[in-house]
Structure 1
């Protein structure tokens, strides 16, 4: 879809990835960007600069994808929708019913509103969690769904709902399966933050870094600004009814990630290895790397930011606070 003079709705637009998508969209010739967010995880400070552009606005009083009437109202006159609103992995594990209401039922609400308002295209944020632990490396989009946690299950459901809605009502959509996303605006504290912020927090508190397992578990880390650019490309592309990996195709062991962060922070903090707890769903995924050939071929997407550069950007962003 051509973006010139289009009105776009970014659901979850004040969040980690959504705020970067809004920023990237403002570099294009869009007519208007409306941010739809209930600010449970999103923050107004993440979109403060974007809101200085008169083309960018927050939907009045925020917005929740569980509020069907409000969601429908927000979509009136909209051309394209980015759907990023979701509960995160560990949050879903602790609160599975709420995860269903937000990630599954909420996604159905978004799809229903898209159909009702004749939305030209939807970009749905899925996750590499649909794959579970790797059977083959790198993971192509045809990798089997071996997920065993509630978050991944909710994303599999969201993908199936997108495909069914497309088949039944003709809604054009593209789904993006993110690998391990990191960067500015990611939650840096709290119970549901990621491995990189946790390591940085430990270093800055002069505390021992604790790594679950032996540190050989390996993942594909991609910077949030690259993820945002892929979203824009997906909205612009002619492709539809397809899912794409969004990653670097490079695998990084957690123990190597830790050493890189220690180097960048010029720290000699101790590192301790301990077994996973029995209720930690992350123990089930020890190996994940995405093949990016399909996204490169169909969307023209290739990541730009190397891991060390991206980590340095994150550290500098943290130091500003």
Structure 2
């Protein structure tokens, strides 16, 4: 039994991690301020004696110190995501993603946690046009959000070298799956499209739809976090990994698959038309991860392709949100 702290544990990825590691028999502490997370994501966990909810903010160092006390491993998921959000409000994104991250690093160091595993981002690749994306080749950031996530990596590296804190960064590539919020101005594209199609509304694709992404199902992300906790390979720590499936699909492909899978539940969805809008500022045109490093050093073996993950996600949305 390990004691894990999941920051942002009521969010999409965080709540899935809380649930999974509780089922594995660990003690799990969730720290969340519910700015983007939801209590309904963790409501079923509250009666579990091995689960502790701390309502707090990573921008408050006292909350960070309280949450890391007695913790073996930190899974740091708390952040303000979304490129457009960071463009509209760079100060708050920086406060949460950089100052909050630094607070958590200091708290983890002082609490002598064994390892600090954090959500990094594929946005760090910036304007680099090379494909597939390899961890040691990045470009210049294209948004305030991308800057904050790159700064996280720099801080983690310094804390590893200066204080001996073991860190592993996981560069998430377009994660999707159960519990991902379809509502709000900054909703991720897959749950947003799913909800629009279920309501017979036309999804709006930014640009001509030929931008491509390495869409990554949540269970692949859970596997990477578990491997990052359990690895004893010294070469595998104090570095960053692409966390993806290692394939890419265009947005046009994505919508076509969603329409196909949702039409199995409601045949009218097959006839919903798609609207094309303008390209979004700060977006990377193409994203495809090399997962060779994670395979070699961590033994990563992703089980879900985008199609397999979409079928699972569509089923979950239909059963829970229709």
TM exceeds 0.5?
yes
Mapping 1:18-167, distance limit 5 Å? 18-30=14-26, 32-59=27-54, 62-89=55-82, 90-167=84-161
Measure the CA separation in 1 of the matches of 2:205 and 2:87.
20
What is the RMSD computed on CA atoms of the aligned residues? Answer: 1.4
1:82-110 CA deviation, whole Å, 9 max, x = no partner? 11110012222211001111000100000
Deviating more after overlay: 98-107 vs 206-215: 206-215
SS across alignment from 2:18? helix
Please state if 1:247 is matched with 2:244.
Answer: yes
Q: In the alignment, what sits opposite 1:270?
A: 273
Aligned residues: 310
List, as ranges, runs of 4+ consecutive aligned residues in structure 1 with deviation greater than 3 Å.
none
Q: CA deviation at 1:315?
A: 1.9
SS across alignment from 2:313? helix
Q: Give ranges in structure 2 of 5+ residues lacking alignment.
A: 264-269
Measure the CA separation in 2 of the matches of 1:228 and 1:247.
11
Whether contact under 8 Å (1:66, 1:102) holds in the other structure is yes
Give TM-score, length-normalised by structure 2.
Answer: 0.92
Aligned equivalent of 2:175, options 153, 176, 181: 181
Q: CA deviation at 1:22?
A: 1.1
1:22-65 CA deviation, whole Å, 9 max, x = no partner? 122123342x2111111111112112233343211212xx1110
Q: CA deviation at 1:226?
A: 1.5
Q: In the alignment, what sits opposite 2:267?
A: none
SS across alignment from 2:271? coil
Change (3 A) 1:50 1:300: farther
Whether contact under 8 Å (2:214, 2:244) holds in the other structure is yes
